[in-house]
Amino acid sequence: MNNRADPMLADPLKTPLQDLDVSDPRRFEQDCWQPLFKRLREESPVHFQAESPAGPFWSITRFDDIVEVEKNTEIFSSEPTIAIIDPPPERRSRMFIAMDQPEHDIQRRAVQPVVAPKNLQEFEALIRQRTAEALDALPEGETFDWVELVSRNLTTQMLATLFDFPWDIRHKLSDWSDAVTSDERMTAGQGLKQEDRLEIVMEILEVFTKLWHERVGDNVESFDLIRLLQRDENTANMVDDPMNYIGNLMLLIVGGNDTTRNSMSGGVLFLNEFPEEFARVKADRSLIPSMVSEIIRFQTPLSHMRRTVTRDTEFRGQHMKAGDKVILWYCSANRDESVIAEPETFQIDRSGVRNHAAFGFGIHRCMGNRLAEMQLRVVWEEALKRFSDIQLVEPPTRLCHNFVRGFSRMPVQVTRY
Amino acid sequence: MPVIKFIEFDGTEHDVDADAGMSIMEVAMKYDVPGIDADCGGGAVCGTCHCFIQESAGPLPAVDPQEESMLGLRPDREGNSRLSCQIQVSDSIGDMTIKLPEFQM
């Protein structure tokens, strides 16, 4: 798994730590990030890096330290952004993931009902039907891309449902999701230039502003995200504050799409890498819910979140200054051997399987976690009914990205019962 | 040994002898009482062990700011809402009756 490392990348075990860029997205692209993070957990769990494409930052790599930082929202703020790079102040969109209390709570509470378990029960039949249709349409006896035909297809449908978005142009949602997380400074130069990204952000705003005005006062009984914002008195005029509206739209588009999509693809890879686990879940489908949590841990679809230090402080003996960036590496927490036994093993019924770091902790913990788990559970319930095998044909293509951990291609062949 | 009565959302009751020193959440897990998820394992950082304390023989510990933050995000919060991982069973609190919510999130 770790033998395809780019010779241009410094050896993570022999190079002095201060000469390594922890945020180098190529390590994620080549799936050779694990040894560096293990070394950080052991040698420098609260690690300062003076230079990077995103400027200086601290890396927190141990599970328990990340929990501590996430609890201390006064010193470790989510404002102004949770991304490793700083947008220029005039282009700073405002999303609740990047707000502190009390504003965070007010905006999150407005949209939370969409993913409340009661609402999810009603979604489940619809998700199952669409999943069944997508899986039934897969070709047999030929290689196809699981990312495109399953993961991307299904998560785009779900996102369109959450927004009650025009069905015929729903593909725009996943294109936008890709675009808003794309930035040349997070992707070793492969991502969008800031100007091109801005153009797409303006398109999103235009389309959704139109949808907002079409829905104002239409009294349709719908739990879509736009009408939820309109119905809550605290957010009823959000359209008049475009930077706040676009911020939350981008948050919900990415949060409801990229993450589940990549876990949906990751599961196929892990079951191929650990065939004995594949055999076990095929023999006992009651293991699926537990397997879903393990897939999410093993994938950790967002590698990190950022916090910003609000005042000079000491953390684990390190002096942090007001304004310092602190990167919480969830991918590392999920391989922390002091909390997770044999963390490099994909083990579908491990004890405490839900106790992983992929959803974050504290007030910013993933709002859609139950929806994500349900989507993944339904995919595997329906897939294991139909397929005796889902064979990975070639190694997948991974994203060159230091924030979104995922795949652009997963070539597979399926065998039906 | 205090007795805790857990009442599931559908009304099913579970009476268990609770060990002093364990949290309510740990007691529910130990006796397989359904309705508490405890995703974070007891750190008051996930909010998925929410419960309603209907009755307690003795006074309960105060809600600290971390617990308050997590409870504040629960759409079904009531005046007697608590995170069950934040209350240790003790002889001074004594017997309790605890209602479980319809869902955890």
DSSP string spanning A85-152?
SPPPGGG----GGG--TTHHHHHHHHHGGGGSHHHHHHHHHHHHHHHHHHHHTS-SSS-EEHIIIIII
Closest by CA position to A109, among listed B66, B44, B72: B72
Give mean pLDDT, residues A339-367: 96
From chain A, the residues in CB contact with B41 under 8 A are 352, 355
Give backbone dihedrals phi and psi of A46, rounded to 5 degrees, phi first: -120, 95
Report the gap between the CA of A105 and the closest CA in chain B (Å): 7
Of residues B44 and A115, which shows the higher confidence score? B44
CA distance A352 to chain B (A): 8
Number of structural domains found in chain A: 1
Across the interface, whether the CB atoms of A108 and B75 are under 8 A apart is answered no
In a domain, A5, yes or no: no
Instruction: Say yes or no to pLDDT of A29 above 90.
Output: yes
Nearest to A67 among B45, B70, B105 (CB): B45
pTM of the model: 0.94
Domain ranges of chain B: 3-99
pLDDT digits (tens, 9 = 90+) for A270-304: 999 999 999 999 999 999 999 999 999 999 999 99
Nearest CB to A109 within list B73, B102, B105: B73
pLDDT of A90 above 80: no
pLDDT over 60 at A124, yes or no: yes
For residue A2, tell me if it sits in a domain.
Answer: no
The number of angstroms, rounded, from the C-alpha of A24 to the middle of its chain's C-alpha atoms is 18
Q: Mean pLDDT lowest for which of A5-9, A164-168, A240-244, B39-43?
A: A5-9
pLDDT averaged over every residue in chain A: 93
CB A411 within 8 A of CB A392: yes
Residue A335 has pLDDT above 70, yes or no: yes
Q: Mutate one of B37, B45, B74, B77 to test the A interface: name it (highest A CB count within 10 A).
A: B45
Q: For B67, which residue in chain A has the nearest alpha carbon?
A: A362
Q: Is residue A6 part of a domain?
A: no
Residues 6+ away with beta carbon under 8 Å from A403: A83, A84, A181, A186, A302, A303, A304
The answer to the question of residue A60 being in a domain is yes
Q: Band of the pLDDT at A184, cuts 50, 70, 90?
A: confident
Give the minimum alpha-carbon distance from B97 to chain A in angstroms, rounded to a whole number.
25
* Residues in chain B within 8 Å Cβ distance of A363: 69-70, 72-73
Residue-number span of the structural domain to which A155 is assigned: 17-416
In a domain, A3, yes or no: no
Tens-digit pLDDT profile for residues A60-71: 999 999 999 999
Does residue A3 register a pLDDT over 70? no
For chain B, what is the largest distance between any 2 Cα atoms, rounded to a whole number of angstroms? 34
What CATH number is associated with residue A142? 1.10.630.10
Contacts of B104 in chain A (CB under 8 A): 117
For residue A8, pLDDT over 90 is answered with no
Q: Quick check: is A10 in a domain?
A: no
What ipTM is given for this predicted complex? 0.93
CATH code linked to domain B3-99: 3.10.20.30
B46 and A CB contact within 8 Å: yes
B84 at A interface, C-beta within 8 A? no
Please say whether the dihedral angle defined by the alpha carbons of residues A229, A109, A357 and A402, taken in this order, is positive or negative: positive
Contact across the interface for A118 and B103, Cβ inside 8 Å: yes
